[in-house]
Structure 1
Amino acid sequence: MQESDSIIDHLFEDEKLTDKQKKIIEAAIDSFSEKGYSGTSTSEIAKKAGVAEGTIFRHYKTKKDLLLSIIAPMLAKSIAPFVIKDLYKILDTKYDSYEGFLRAMIANRYVFLKHNLPLFKILIQEIPFHPELKEQFMEHIAKKVYTRFESLVVYFQEKEQIINIPPASVIRFNITTIMGYFFTRYLFFPDADWNDDEEIEITIQFLLHGLSPLAKKEDDSP
């Protein structure tokens, strides 16, 4: 659990957590990522943490308070700064080609997910069911990233490297395709025999050919 400990220390560095609190949070992250919020009971978390169930409620009024205590600092201290600092570097760079941008974007996401998979799983699983999480996600990430992403799309459309469709559609195609690969790779079939380099290349080529302007057909008529 050494990696989880480092994540917890980072997320809660401004708070003085007891050893029991750290164990509760660590157990909650493991359980929520494995079974989801609704499929996890506080008694399971307590057992995994090696504490009495009442200890959880001394620190967190409800199971949802425990969930929010994990997600809120994750968005504020881990995901949001990562997006702002590292992803902005990619979105603000004027790449010579759309392909260069895609490779930088996927490499950036790949590294982040590998180091934050349990927390990422919780976020993806629970956002649709908790308005508070959706609101925090929109505030910390989505609104801040969209404008930069949109300007990058327009830039490549002006260079005629992307078809002339609404930028929002281009962004959606990029996100769903890239994240679809990551979801399948790390959430749905993590134990499959993956060739990551090959799969990433296929993903890039799909986006390149799917969003590139259609080649003009030559007139074969006599």
Structure 2
Amino acid sequence: MARENKREAILAAAIKIFAQKSYNGTTTSEIAKEAGVAEGTIFRYFKTKKDILIKGVIDKFTEFVGEKFISEQLTNILEKNSDKDGREILKILIKDRIELVKKYKDIMKVVVSESLYNAEVATSIKKNILPKAKLFIRKFLTTYIEKGVFRNVDLDVAETALMGTVTAYVVQNLFLKQSYISNEEEIDKLIDIIIGGLKKS
């Protein structure tokens, strides 16, 4: 097995077992067994188990998700659907995020879980993912404010609220419901709350 392939095999094994047993509940011998390598081989690529998490799993996640799935994919969705109204585009975006979680559920589970307990993981997410996500959400909000679809609001508060609501909904599907597909009606109801709020019209 080539050097780069071995590193990727170790990372894939770590992601799988961290997702099943948590980072603290996993040993390097378990990772080695899953990867099909000797335990000593792991330490040719990573100094410690923590290195696997921070310089392997989290770096892979922030580079891949930050660039491909925020900077590129979400921007493309916004541009390709510029003729749609705010409600329609929000639905497309939410469904896209659900599909992303479905496709990469193990690494998502590791990142979300470990960000709650590991300061280095949380810092990496705050530094590498949140700014890109907030930049995209601000672009979405300003686009539809300028079109007269959304009212003028405090953009800092609005982007935090929107990102928090959608993230919580998607993460809930991952952890609590153990389901990765939400039905159309449920998403429509969520969007009704996001767009219209709770106040009776």
Shorter-normalised TM-score: what interval? 0.7 to 0.9
Larger Rg over CA atoms: 1
Mapped partners of 1:142, 1:61: distance in 2? 28
Q: 1:189 aligns with which of 174, 177, 181?
A: 177
Q: 1:119 aligns with which of 107, 130, 143?
A: 107
How far does the alpha carbon of each residue in 1:32-89 deviate from its partner, in whole angstroms, 9 at most, with x for none? 1122212222233233334443332233210011112122123213442221111123
Tell me by how many angstroms 1:195 deviates: 5.3
Q: Does 1:153 align with 2:144?
A: no
Q: 1:108 aligns with which of 82, 96, 117?
A: 96
Question: In the alignment, which residue of structure 1 is the partner of 2:87?
Answer: 99
Tell me by how many angstroms 1:164 deviates: 5.1
Question: In the alignment, which residue of structure 2 is the partner of 1:77?
Answer: 64
Tell me by how many angstroms 1:132 deviates: 3.7
Pair 1:126–1:177, CA change in 2 (3 A): same
Question: In the alignment, which residue of structure 2 is the partner of 1:29?
Answer: 15
Q: Which runs of 5+ in 1 are unaligned?
A: 1-14, 216-222
How far does the alpha carbon of each residue in 1:169-218 deviate from its partner, in whole angstroms, 9 at most, with x for none? 222332222222222222222169x753332222222222218x974xxx
Q: 2:192 aligns with which of 205, 212, 215?
A: 205
What aligned pairs does 1:8-87 form with structure 2 within 5 A after superposition?
A: 16-19=3-6, 21-68=7-54, 69-87=56-74
Aligned length: 198
**Secondary structure in 1 matching 2:24:** coil
Question: Is the CA contact (8 Å cut-off) linking 2:71 and 2:136 kept in structure 1?
Answer: no
Mapped partners of 2:28, 2:35: distance in 1? 10
Mapped partners of 2:123, 2:76: distance in 1? 25
Question: Is the CA contact (8 Å cut-off) linking 1:46 and 1:53 kept in structure 2?
Answer: yes
How far does the alpha carbon of each residue in 1:112-141 deviate from its partner, in whole angstroms, 9 at most, with x for none? 222111111112122244444334333433
Mapped partners of 2:84, 2:200: distance in 1? 20
Question: Is the CA contact (8 Å cut-off) linking 1:30 and 1:118 kept in structure 2?
Answer: yes
**Secondary structure in 2 matching 1:37:** coil
- The alignment's TM-score, normalised by the length of structure 1, stands at 0.72
How far does the alpha carbon of each residue in 1:93-152 deviate from its partner, in whole angstroms, 9 at most, with x for none? 655532122112112212222211111111212224444433433343322342342243
Pair 1:101–1:160, CA change in 2 (3 A): same
What RMSD over aligned residues (CA atoms) do the two structures have, in Å?
3.1
Q: Does 1:176 align with 2:174?
A: no
Q: Which runs of 5+ in 2 are unaligned?
A: none
Mapped partners of 1:105, 1:208: distance in 2? 14
Question: Is the CA contact (8 Å cut-off) linking 1:80 and 1:140 kept in structure 2?
Answer: no
Tell me by how many angstroms 1:163 deviates: 5.5
